[in-house]
Amino acid sequence: MSISSSLNAGVAGLSANATRLATISDNIANSGTYGYKRASADFENFVINHARGAGTYSAGGVRASTSRLIDEQGALVATANALDLAVSGRGMLPVTTAVSLNGLSGGSQPLMMTTTGAFRPDADGILRTGSGLVLLGWPANADGSIPVLPRDTVAGLQPVVINANQTVGDPTTQMHLGVNLPATATEAGAAGSTLPLSVEYFGNLGTSDTLDITFSPVVPATGASNSWTMEIRDSAQNGALIGQYTLAFDDTRGNGGTLASVTTLSGGAYDPVSGTLALTVAGGPISMTVGRPGDSSGLTQLSDSFAPTSITKDGSPVGNLTTVEVDENGYVVATYDTGFTRRIYQIPVVDVPNPNGLITLNNQTFQISPDSGSFFLWDAGDGPAGAIAGYAREGSATDVAAELTALIQTQRAYSSNAKVIQTVDEMLQETTNIKR
């Protein structure tokens, strides 16, 4: 019995070390594979029960169990492509297969995960890898905000689509008006000439329109009034008056030349807290900042010159898409040749309680299993989730030096188990030679 158990233990040792050799071979073969997670083989012994003090022992042998160390991370490798993505820390990118795109409606697509990928737009603009993995994300609203979506389901995820020939307009919604009015124009005896100013803004369709602003001084009989009447007209409404205001300026030593008050005669109201006028042009509301009372960065009245000092606005004309990048928070940001940038998607980071319990699939992808636990979609860099790195790929988790060392140990162990089998064979031969 003991000799036979020795033979069985030797055979089990050969099988276990062959399994370990297979994992080592796989690791070394994928030492240059981006996102590869190292396979590991662990040995567990068998114990065959025997009576205490019987004077005999039966070898149980060994068996190998394999696992994929998904929670081990490889080093990030810099690349030149903005859409080469990797997760710097815990979590994975949500992807699906290209062949399953027809089943995306209703959230029926199979969720797969990968820690890195080299994504490129295909003929339809869908971001995918060369192996057919499609990147998933939440589409942004028209204003760039991300809608509130459930985090424990794939229902809101959609393929990320980048149309290279897309154009977009950025309407003006805010404007800062910094203008100096001549103080001498409100003194007695001044000519009282109206001072014109034209400021461009961009409409909802990318058109260029103007706000035609006039400043009319209030000329008193004696002294100085330090007052002006400001009228604002919109060219998109055929010059319609959209705001009329009385501007009063301070002439004290501490705040001389700054606004003292703004009185609304018609049109949008003035907010003294923010220093803004609530104007309504043809395309919608525009907030124009003219300055708070005592603020020197808006409208001022100093000296004898009329000069715009600082006129700024948001918005831009129609622009063509130039670049697309993904920031560390997972936002896909499109940049246009007019300098306008806009969020178009958000890429969440998928996390599970037990990453090593995930099902391993081809192309460095993984799927949920009962051992991994349920997934949750985190904002990148929030909670336990790592940040998303663009221009980067995650390298293989294989340490070639360690694998070669394990290879030597496995080879020796395999040879030793083969020697056991050879020895048992010789002993059995001796047994058969007893009777001749």
pLDDT tens profile 30-73: 999 999 999 999 998 888 776 676 677 778 788 898 999 999 99
Contacts of 405 (CB under 8 A, 6+ apart): none
**pLDDT higher at 158 or 109:** 158
Do residues 48 and 59 touch, judged by C-beta distance below 8 A? Answer: yes
- Residue-range domain boundaries for the chain: 2-69+399-432, 76-168+319-394, 172-314
Domain 172-314 annotated CATH 3.40.50.300: no
**Average confidence score pLDDT of the chain:** 91
Instruction: Give per-residue pLDDT as tens, 144-157.
Output: 899 999 999 998 89
Q: How far is residue 348's CA from residue 371's CA, in Å, rounded to a whole number?
A: 22
CB 214 within 8 A of CB 334: no
Q: Are 229 and 246 in contact (CB under 8 A)?
A: yes
Euclidean distance between CA atoms 129 and 117, whole angstroms:
7
- Measured between alpha carbons, how far is 190 from 215 in angstroms, rounded to an integer? 14
Q: Measured between alpha carbons, how far is residue 329 from residues 121, 343, 379, 402 in Å? A: 21, 11, 7, 35
**DSSP 8-state symbol, 2:** H
Query: Rounded CA gap, 289 and 292, in Å?
Result: 9
Confidence category of residue 28, pLDDT binned at 50, 70, 90: very high
- Which among 393, 417, 431, 308 has a CA at the least distance from the CA of 130? 393
